[in-house]
Structure 1
Amino acid sequence: MKVPEALGARLSRFGRARGGGSTGVTAPVRSDRRSRSLAKRLRPGDIAVIDHVDLDRSSAEALLEREVAAVLNTAVSISGRYPNLGPQLIVEAGVPLVDDVDPEVFARVHEGERLTLDGGALLRGESVLATGTPQTPESVAAAMDAARTGISAQLEAFAANTAEYLRHEHDLLFDGVGIPAVRTPMEGRHVLVAVRSRRHREDLVALRPYIREFRPVLIGVDGGADALVEAGFRPAVVVGDFDGVGDRALSGGAELVVHADRDGRAPGLKRVRELGRDAAAFRGAGSGEDAAILLADAAGASVIVVAGARSALEEFLDRGRVGMAGAFLTRLRVGGKLVDAEAAARLHRRRLSPWSLLALAGAALVVVVLAALSSPAGAEYAALLTKRWDLLADFAYRLTGLFT
């Protein structure tokens, strides 16, 4: 295949050295314009080709979870509208990220064929299929700094989106319309909502003492249910559209709540029924994480801890137009009972039970007695106590003899 003139010009512009052979990544290539759909088909070591403007954190985590070898984006990963977090996660993980790749790459590559990514060029043998702009930690950091200057405009859009979301989801947020009743008792109990992300493992490890003491109701949100199972826990409820959760979590006896669209469509219900299970439907436009939080709040949970997600400003902006409004209003609705996993781990202090205190006192007493007996003075005291005990026993024997 001959290199088109325009493609060759781009190749020379990105400075690819053709002289010393390929030193890039050679791996199977899988492509899909939707990064989340592609993540389901990816295998470890694949090169992922996507079309995703402003690559968000959640999509980047889904790609990294599949252990991709490289990511090619036919769009711009950071457009400058707001500081989205996806590209930073990818480059910090050491995964090559190439932006603004020729969109014809979707037609030129075949699913699963082994190609080579060398710098900014995707090769089939010596033929160049597409080129793009390789991103580095420095270029991503510079783009993020530039994007932060536009936060004020994004906050204005955020306010407008929040008002729009509130208008459509008023009944859900204030009256609980669409929230199903669940059998799992949560009234007055702690609830832990697990969301799968790059940080869910460290959150669950940090929360182990809290989980052992408070025994919270465990709710897994899609892949968060798998995360709980992998950590050795058993989710009581699984919430989501069920396209990113394994059969083991769905078939483990947990109560299932499928996240449906506002019009009632629930594609995940088909999969649940194929497994011989049934599920309640949660109708709402927010995310599965929002649905799980609202579900726990409606069921009377006293404390709701979220593992695998954060609530910083950039996290809200990174969720997109509808997602950020839903996340913000959900947290506003739940109020002070919602606690971040990192905060819960820091604030938690394991309380000692009375039996633990008695055991500690007994152990200390044994140590003192053994230390005393091992010294010369301790031996003398032991002999004296033994003599006194013998005298006391003899006196008791004589006293009882007077009455027999």
Structure 2
Amino acid sequence: MRLPTLRRTRSVEPGAFSGTARLDRRTKRLVGRLRPGDIAIIDHVDIDRVAADSLVAVGVAAVLNVKPSISGRYPNLGPEVLIQAGIVLIDDLGEEVFDRINEGDLISIEGDTVLLDGEPVATGIQQDTQTVAAAMADAREGLSVQLEAFAANTMDYLKQERDLLLDGVGVPDVETQISGRHVLIVVRGYDYKADLDVLRPYIREFKPVLIGVDGGADALVETGYTPDIIIGDMDSVTDDVLRCGAEVIVHAYPDGRAPGLDRVHGLGVPAVTFPAAATSEDLAMLLADDKGATLIVAVGTHANLVEFLDKGRGGMASTFLTRLKVGGKLVDAKGVSRLYKQNISGSSLLLLVLSAVAAMASAVAVSTVGRAYLSVVSEWWDNLVFQLGQLF
């Protein structure tokens, strides 16, 4: 319920700006409602890079966080991405922001202060390049504590999901033929667009099984492909993509509860559940491995320790063990776009065209047919010049 506020007329300071407020405590869910120029209000401790990339992609004007964007637990990458993109980031605004501002309200920002109808409703800490760099330096000092926690989470997961990791217990049956084929797993994560673009020739040649992990299914459709399997908790895949004809596997809690199952059944789409404590991207890899895939290509997934920690949850320990389980089958597409990206200069392109024209001219000049053709063209040109001379 909104708290009452006094309405007073107040002039807007130079350099201040306004925008439409969009609120959600889950950043991933909010992104689907954002439009360019909106002001995103979130509840996100330690903004990770994937969340920041999604906010940059929709073109928000500012991000207002009721929590610290860098708590100091580990050096998360999101705030730096936002600042480099020129997006205003204000932290520690307090939980009351969600009570005082409604979805669609026109709000203004002056420095570190948020105003509604000209009246201040919250004040936080405006981040910039220097403050983010200082906070990141402090966070790196506490990285050893996070490494110990990560190791502990890994052992807990190993005990909890030993049967799944070692024997594939709980992996659901699928109709899609996977055995003996390549599998391409797409997560809407780091550099997924660039990697998908680079992988077009590979997809065309090998025709791998396409598995979309939640919003990764939308990424496949946006790139022009239809996923064969969609797996996840169904909180970021769109209704239209769920109806595309792919097999749907809903990620469930270890006790069998699957909140996303009701949504899928409400759309009239058949689905099975996959109960596990792992992340959805891990389940996709374990499914592909269990069903006999010869190669697993991962797009947008987490590949190193920094990315595991940047995700900001203990469950990322499962990804470490999953990668050990899948072993040599797994190939990360991350970075492929940078490895094979080539820039052709205009002068090089012009030289290539001129070389081709010269080669064609030489071929025509030395052949009998070519000389006869040149003779005809020359005679036609002389006649044209003569007729033009007669006219003028």
Pairing partner for 1:333 from 319, 325, 338: 325
Instruction: Tell me the equivalent position of 2:71.
Output: 79
Residues 315-324 or 199-208, more deviating: 315-324
**Contact 2:28/2:236 (CA < 8 Å) preserved in 1?**
no
Match of 1:315 in 2: 307
Q: Distance in 1 between matches of 2:286 and 2:136?
A: 33
1:276 and 2:268 are equivalent in the alignment: yes
Q: CA RMSD in A?
A: 2.7
Q: Residue by residue, what CA displacement relative to the aligned partner does 1:357-392 show, whole Å, maximum 9, x if unpaired?
A: xxxxxxxxxx999956732xx659x9xxxxxxxxxx
- Quick check: which has more Rg, 1 or 2? 1
SS of 2:109's equivalent in the other structure is: strand
Partner of 2:257: 265
* Structure 1 residue aligned with 2:365: 374
Is residue 21 of structure 2 the alignment partner of residue 29 of structure 1?
A: yes
C-alpha contact 2:70 2:79 (8 A) present in aligned 1:
yes
Candidates 130, 152, 168, aligned match of 2:122: 130
Q: Distance in 2 between matches of 1:147 and 1:373?
A: 70
Mapping of residues 105-254 of structure 1, within 5 Å: 105-197=97-189, 199-254=191-246
**Structure 1 range deviating more: 180-189 or 27-36:** 27-36
Instruction: Tell me how far apart the structure 2 counterparts of residues 48 and 372 of structure 1 sit (CA, whole Å).
Output: 64
Partner of 1:352: none
Q: What secondary structure sits across from 1:227 in the alignment?
A: helix
Deviation per residue, 1:45-84 (Å, 9 max, x gap): 3212222221223333444444332111121111111111
Deviations 1:170-201 (A, max 9, x none): 11111112211111111121111111135211
What is the percent sequence identity of the aligned residues?
Answer: 54
Q: Which residue of 1 aligns with 2:344?
A: none
Alpha carbons of 1:48 and 1:379: their partners in 2 closer, same or farther (altered >3 Å)? closer
State the secondary structure of the residue aligned to 2:231: strand
Letter in 2 for 1:374: A
- Quickly say closer, same or farther: Cα 1:343–1:123, change in 2 above 3 A: closer
**CA drift at 1:142:** 2.4
Instruction: Specify every segment of 5 or more residues in structure 1 that has no aligned partner in the other structure, as ranges.
Output: 4-17, 349-366, 383-404
Structure 1 residue 40, shift from structure 2 partner: 4.4
Count, aligned residues: 347
Kindly provide the amino acid, as one letter, of the partner of residue 70 in structure 1. A
Q: CA contact under 8 A between 2:186 and 2:217: conserved in structure 1?
A: yes
SS in 2 for 1:328: helix
Residue pair 1:204, 1:307 contacting (<8 A) in 2 also: yes
> Offset of 1:299 from its aligned partner?
1.1
Aligned to 2:290: 298
TM-score, normalised to structure 1's length? 0.79
User: How many Å apart are 1:223 and its aligned residue?
Assistant: 0.8
TM-score normalised to the size of structure 2?
A: 0.81
- Contact 1:192/1:218, CA 8 A, preserved across alignment: yes
Q: Is the 8 A contact 2:92 2:125 kept in 1?
A: yes
